[in-house]
Amino acid sequence: MAFALSTMQLESSAFAAGGDIPTKHTAEGDDVSPALSWQGAPEGTQGFAVICHDPDAPLVQNGSYGFVHWVLYNLPAATTSLEENTSAGTTGLNDTGKMGYGGPMPPEGHGAHHYYFLVLALDKATDLPEGLSLPELLRQVEPHLIGMNRLVGRYQRD
């Protein structure tokens, strides 16, 4: 399946779709991941992965598009939510060069950026090693992708 949106729904108690991400969840605040929850995963879902990506960021590494803030995977099929500052799943490498969640912090004077939180439903449970980059993760899970959706939040530095 291509990366087309499915009927799965993703939301956060921290911010509304299209709304402002609270400073708490940014690199200017506590830098903790927001709580997320989803429903309506496709039949046959055996696992999930979660990504946070800023497509408004300038090209950053090796000509890559945007900036990856979070790569999380090996989430079991029974998972339908992540608590704030979650320790669930296996963390990958974000574009800050660190493991786990790295909150929004667009360059000063760059205006508002949009942060795409994506949940990917997979037809196969994964047991991938810690530290995968987004391209490495996608190479592993794309053949097993059966559904996905996103929640977009905004953040602008003061």
> Which pLDDT belongs to residue 62?
55
Residue 148 parent element (H or E): strand 145-155
37 in any annotated domain = yes
97 in any annotated domain = yes
Task: State mean pLDDT over 130-155.
Answer: 94
Helix (H, G, I), strand (E, B) or coil at 116: strand
Measured between alpha carbons, how far is residue 17 from residues 59, 85, 88, 153 in Å?
25, 19, 23, 6
How many domains, the chain? Answer: 1
70 in any annotated domain = yes
59 in any annotated domain = yes
Encode pLDDT of 41-93 as tens digits: 999 999 999 999 999 887 655 556 788 999 999 999 999 999 999 999 999 99
Residue 25 φ/ψ, nearest 5 degrees: -95, 15
3 in any annotated domain = no
Residue the block writes with tokens 């590494």: 61
138 in any annotated domain = yes
> Which pLDDT belongs to residue 1?
38
Burial class (CB in 10 A: 0-12, 13-18, 19+), 88: middle
- Sign, Cα dihedral of 19, 142, 126, 146: positive
Domain that holds residue 25: 9-155
The reported pTM is 0.93
pLDDT bracket for residue 107 (50, 70, 90): confident
- CATH at 78: 3.90.280.10
28 in any annotated domain = yes
2 in any annotated domain = no
